[in-house]
Amino acid sequence: MHPLVSVDELRAELEGADPPVVLDVRWSLGGPDGAAEHARGHAPGAVYVDLDTQLASPPGPGTGRHPLPDPAALQEVLRDAGVREGSRVVVTDAGPATSAARGWWVLRWAGLPDVRVLDGGWAAWVAAGGPVETAAPLPAPGDVVVRPGALPVLDADAAARLARDGVLLDARAPERYRGEVEPVDPVAGHVPGARSAPTTGNVGADGRFLPPRELRQRFAALGAEPGRTVGVYCGSGVTAAHALLALEVAGVPALLWPGSWSQWVADPARPVATGPEPG
C-alpha cells in the first residue's frame, strides 16, 4: 500500500460509502497551537489528535522529548476518534507532513495496517478548494485494538552501532547537525558517524513529497539503499518519521530512533560531533 494519498483521492474517498478516518495532527515546534488551527478549519470529519500528549508519553529521564505513547492510552485516543478494527486512516497536518508522518509511524507501530498521509497536508487541501468544516466532529466510538511493536525501533546504543556499521541519518536542519545552533536541547552537534539528511530535501516547493525516483537518488547519495540497515533520528523522533515516510516512498526500509538527539545528550558520557560530515 502506498503511504501517501493525494487531495483528489482523499476527497473522493470522503464522498464515498466507506470514508476513511481522518486524523489532524497539526503541530510545530514553538507553535502555532494545532488545536486552535484545527478549530478554524479542517477536512470533513477530521478529528484532532495532539502530538505532544496523545501520540507520545510524557518525557522522563533519558527517554527523549517524545517517548512512544502508552498503548492503552493510545488505544483510547484512537477509539474516541472513531477508529475501528480494519479502518482506513488518513493522517494530515498543516503541511508538509512533518507531524503527520509521526502520526503515520505511531499508528503503524501500533499495528494498524492501513494508514496513509495526505500529501501536502492542509495547505494542499485548501489550495485545491477542498471542503472545509469548523464544527467539532462527533464520531461513533471505535473498537480498534492497539498491538504495539509492529515496527522495530532503535535505542541509543543501537543507533551508535548503526552510525559505525550501517547508515544513520540525521533529519534535523543542517545547522543543528553541524552544532552551530541548538534551539531546544542542551547540547549542540550530532551522533558521531551520522549523515546529514534534512527533511526539507524530501519535498518540493509545493510541500509534496518528491517522486519516488528522486527520493531514491537522494537517499542513495547518502548511502541509504535497499539491503543496508538504515536508521533515522532528529531532535525527538518527530521529523525523523518524515524521513522514514520518504524512505518508504523510495522503497528503502528504515528504522526510527524515537529518543533521538534529546535522548542521546541526556547522558553526558556519550560523544558529540560537530561540524560538517567528513569529506
Cell reading at 147: 498491538
List phi, psi (to 5°) of 92: -135, 165
3-state secondary structure string across 152-208: CECCHHHHHHHHHHCEEEECCCHHHHCCCCCCCCCCCCECCCCEECCHHHHECCCCC
Any catalytic annotation for residue 40?
no
Sheet of 230-233: strands edge to edge?
Answer: 195-196, 167-170, 230-233, 255-256
Q: Which of 156, 234, 240, 255 is catalytic?
A: 234
Candidates 216, 248, 217, 221; CA nearest to 232 is 248
The alpha carbons of the chain give a radius of gyration, in whole angstroms, of 18
Owner of C-alpha cell 502530538: 51
Which residues form the catalytic set?
234
